[in-house]
Amino acid sequence: MATSEQVSQLRDLGAATIYEAQGAKGALDHGMKPIDPTVRLAGPAFTVDCRPADNLMLHYAVQKAKPGDVLVVDAKGFMEAGPWGDVLTIQAMKVGIAGLVINGCVRDANLIIDLGFPVFCRGLSIKGTAKNQPGKINVPITIGDVLIHPGDFIVGDRDGLVVVPQAEVASAIARSLAREDKEAQQRKAIEAGAFTADLLGLTDTLRRFGFN
């Protein structure tokens, strides 16, 4: 498992940097966004596979997740119900859950934002849900084209979400730090008068297309 320092590093590095540093892989699709763009999220995935418009498994999951876990829920992208709201948020915060990523909608957005609980979702829906259908916890799930295993790390911010395989946390951090250092040097070079085309080795490509 990653250390608390590594989790903090992932959160600070951010989704875009980690995505690029680990070889442009693991990004969830652009439809998954935070309801509050100021939040940042990082932690191991506690996965939940549930039926559309039914939140029985979410009530079960908040009993079983550990402090620091991120609930990562496949609600099948259903947009006409909000299976998560303020009551489940308060419950999740009480047990120390770090945040929610749901392939679906939530409701009570203003209250969730006021509570400061990081939530990433496809949208908002005021419609309620049933509490009748079984599902699964701690199983591999897929959101978009990204496979997420229990224990994989989820990093999210205003830009979006990226998944870091549990075994690759250390290497993802090392590559991300190296990328940040490289970009810091590029910013210094730009301040000194350099152009991005030169810094990225694009000059010859531009010339081949007749842009001199």
Q: Is 116 left (phi over 0), alpha (psi -120 to 50) or beta?
A: left
- What's the chain's average pLDDT? 97
Out of 3.40.50.970, 3.40.50.620, 2.40.30.30, 3.50.30.40, the CATH code matching 4-166 is 3.50.30.40
- Inform me whether the pLDDT recorded for 166 exceeds 90: yes
117-134: per-residue pLDDT in tens?
999 999 999 999 999 999
pTM for this prediction: 0.95
Q: Taking the mean position of all CA atoms in its chain, how far away is CA 54?
A: 23
What is the distance between the alpha carbons of residues 108 and 78, in angstroms, rounded to a whole number? Answer: 17
How sure is the predictor about 1, in pLDDT bands with cuts at 50, 70 and 90?
confident
Measured torsion, CA atoms of residues 178, 11, 24, 167, in degrees rounded to the nearest 10? 90
Domain parsing of the chain, residue ranges: 4-166, 173-208
Residues in the chain: 212
For the beta carbon of residue 33, count every other beta carbon within 10 angstroms.
18
